[in-house]
Amino acid sequence: MSQHPLVVITGASSGIGAATARAFAAAGHPLLLIARRLEPMRDLGIADAELAACDVNDTAAVSSALARAEERFGPVDLLINNAGLMALSSVAEQDPALVQEQFDVNCVALMKNSQLVLPRMQQRRHGTIINIGSIAGKQLYGDHTVYNGTKFAVHAMTEGLRRENAAYGVRVLLVAPGMVDTSLLGHTHGEVLDGYLDYKRSIGGGLAPEDVAQAILTAYQLPQHISFREIVVAPTSQDA
Ligand code: NDP
């Protein structure tokens, strides 16, 4: 069995989550990977990994996957709440289902899944939760109203959780990326997508998901008594 503790990553089938899975596996950690699509997680080819193909809001499924992974690898020491959904649009034109889904995935699941691991981290007085926020959790952008709302909420809840857990020695921290080249734009279309891509091209493209994974790994690998409370990581050329 691995000497390193169990790391749980949501949204591990793509983008930042998949890159983070590869980075932590290379660092020797056993993993629990969670996303709805199983194949891309299988394709990562990580031996010491439990895979859970489920919705992050299916608390019963996440909970039983956690139990399975902990049985195999020992207690979870890091939860990375990474699964996320961005659908850019003016609110008037936005599908109401996508309003709901962005809050469900970006905010509600993040809190409910934190609840699954926190009591035992508090008991052990050890552990880390890393929430993936966004630069869009710090400033407003056009056509981002709902996504902005979800990420501002992530930032606020991360700071609240950090304060609640400081006395237990449990770290809660935020990684807020700028533009990263992933599939996140898959729910954005038309002129809004064109405008986003034009800006991205004008700055020479986004970060690679591996760049963000490196920031996450670096923050986690610090000794437990040191917390990078908030990391904003973006292309140097991004000026917005
Ligand atoms: P991707 O679209 O590449 O990845 C999103 C991941 O979330 C996928 O693995 C997807 O898996 C998973 N996911 C979405 N909905 C659900 C759900 N209901 N249940 C389980 N898993 C779900 O995007 P990124 O890698 O870019 O996004 C990762 C995080 O980074 C998000 O929180 C995003 O907001 C944040 N971020 C991204 C930025 C960027 O420029 N790319 C900038 C700032 C922040 P599946 O579809 O298989 O369920």
Main-chain dihedrals φ then ψ at residue 105, nearest 5 degrees = -80, -50
Take residue 14 and report the two structure tokens written for it. 């793509």
Residue positions counted in the chain: 240
- pLDDT (average), residues 108-136: 98
pLDDT in tens, 152-170: 999 999 999 999 999 999 9
85 Cα to the center of ligand 1, angstroms: 5
Tokens 């981290």 correspond to what residue?
121
Class of domain 6-233: alpha beta
pLDDT in tens, 136-153: 999 999 999 999 999 999
> Which secondary-structure segment (H or E) carries 32?
strand 31-35
Q: pLDDT band for position 229 (50/70/90)?
A: very high
* Predicted confidence (pLDDT) at residue 1 exceeds the cutoff of 70: no
pTM of the predicted protein model? 0.98
pLDDT in tens, 79-116: 999 999 999 999 999 999 999 999 999 999 999 999 99
122 Cα to the center of ligand 1, angstroms: 28
Q: pLDDT band for position 214 (50/70/90)?
A: very high
* Predicted confidence (pLDDT) at residue 217 exceeds the cutoff of 60: yes
| pLDDT for 3 | 86
pLDDT in tens, 52-76: 999 999 999 999 999 999 999 999 9
Query: Cα–Cα distance between 233 and 231 in angstroms, integer?
Result: 6
* Ligand 1 first shell, C-beta below 6 A: 10-17, 35-37, 55-56, 82-86, 105, 132, 134, 177, 179-180, 182-184, 206, 209
8 and 78 Cβ atoms separated by less than 8 Å: yes
Nearest Cα residue to atom 6 of ligand 1: 11
> Which secondary-structure segment (H or E) carries 198?
helix 190-202
Query: Which of 184, 211, 230, 233 maximizes ligand 1 atoms within 8 Å of its Cβ, making it the mutation to test the pocket?
Result: 184
| pLDDT for 2 | 61
Query: Which of 16, 55, 59, 139 maximizes ligand 1 atoms within 8 Å of its Cβ, making it the mutation to test the pocket?
Result: 16
Tell me the β-bridge partners of 72.
none
Residue ranges covered by each domain of the chain: 6-233
Q: What residues are annotated to the active site?
A: 147
pLDDT in tens, 171-209: 999 999 999 999 999 999 999 999 999 999 999 999 999
